[in-house]
Amino acid sequence: MAEMAGIERQKTQARMIQAPSMLRMVFAGFGRYRKTRKNLSAALSFIFFLILFFVSLFSALGRNLEAYWVDSVLGGDYAVSRAESYVDIMKPVNPDNYFDPVAFYVRNPRAKAVSSPRLRVGVMAEAGDGDFENMFILVGLDPVREKELFDSIQLEAGSYFSGTKAEIILPPSIMGALGVSLGGDVVLAAQTSMGFLNMERARVVGVRKDSSTSFIFGNYQGFAPLELVRSLVGTELASEILIQPGALGNFSGLRGPFRLSPAIESFGIARAVSLAYGFLRLMILLLLGAFALGIVYQNLSLMNEERRAEIGLYLSYGASPSWVATLMYGELSLYILYCALLGGSLAVAALGGLSLAGLYPIDTVTEVMLGGKRLSLWPGPEALISSFALFMSVVFASSSLPIWKAVLNQNIVSMFRKV
């Protein structure tokens, strides 16, 4: 009878441990973390500050770069033949990879409302001297569709296409090289799909506005009606389909022998800058993650060693190892949230202050790197959520081994010895 009473008493005590009082114990454990591990609090808050700062910085740079290059030269995303493994809009497309835009729209009808076909070729040009020394990329486009969907050709003089076939819009750099003025004629020469040289005459109706990035692409790209470029190279096909920026997310992929090339990946300079930022971001976050792993692992190992008697008491009263681990994870979760609030508040204040003060490029090169005239660093919801998820994952990953080592395979008697 006495033995049964003892067993019931142990069960009652175990139930008391596992009662709703766990929440109070979690808060008590969180308070212990905060009071006894002030250096850890400062370190983790600073780590989250750096994580949020750099995630927001590189997110802002990514948004700026894409918008900047789309406005300057890219226009949007590109659908190309699957055989075209590398897309760079400053280079002509292999004629073997041209495709029928009608067939594209039959297979991908949802893309029709947000896109327009283009034909990008390399041409030689002269303006009356008979010397075809000037070469550039000529983009044939549908004037009506492009104006409605993109309106990416900004003019500093002249007018947009009027509907006549033999018209062309050139940047000042190409016009200067040719020695032609607004309203003058140029003779275009290109190799046809049959392999012979063909020529067409076109009138310069517009001067494309020079942007700060003209030193990169301005010398190489002109625009003409799709009909003219098709006549010049002797084909009814297209080299690519230009898709409105952002419409990439409206459908998951393309059907048929086609693939999508996002805007930022369709221009060599933009791709290189984006990859460089991506690599730098990865390296910084890996270093911060490794730093956090080491700090959390070391501190929790020491703290759990100090709590041997407490853990042994829980286990001796019937608490399971998983219950004790849950308690410790709960304490740690509150502590992570506390450190994230401290570090996040500082990061938002710093990012907001920099945004209000304004980060402006000092020259064209830094404008290209920043992706615009001004860089705004205000952290959005995506940056906040991804930063906290990364921070929490790193801390939990580094704490799992110390926590489970503390609650499994324990010699309960030794836990009551003086540490």
pLDDT score for 140: 94
Tens digits of residue pLDDT in 82-94:
998 888 888 888 8
Confidence of residue 118 (pLDDT cuts 50, 70, 90): very high
Residue 248 has pLDDT above 70, yes or no: no
Whole-number percent of the chain with pLDDT over 90: 34
pLDDT score for 19: 47
- Mean of pLDDT over the chain: 83
Residue 355 has pLDDT above 60, yes or no: yes
Q: Which residues in 123-135 are b (16+ Cβ under 10 Å) and which e? A: bbbbbeeeeeebe
pLDDT score for 16: 47
Virtual torsion, Cα 132, 134, 135, 138, nearest 10 deg: -90
Tens digits of residue pLDDT in 284-333:
999 999 998 998 888 888 888 888 878 877 777 777 888 888 888 888 88
Residue 211 has pLDDT above 70, yes or no: no
Q: Report which of residues 68 and 290 the model is more confident about.
A: 290
Tens digits of residue pLDDT in 143-186:
999 988 887 788 889 999 988 889 999 988 888 888 899 999 99
pLDDT score for 189: 93
Residue 46 has pLDDT above 90, yes or no: yes
pTM for the model stands at: 0.76
Q: Report which of residues 390 and 37 the model is more confident about.
A: 390
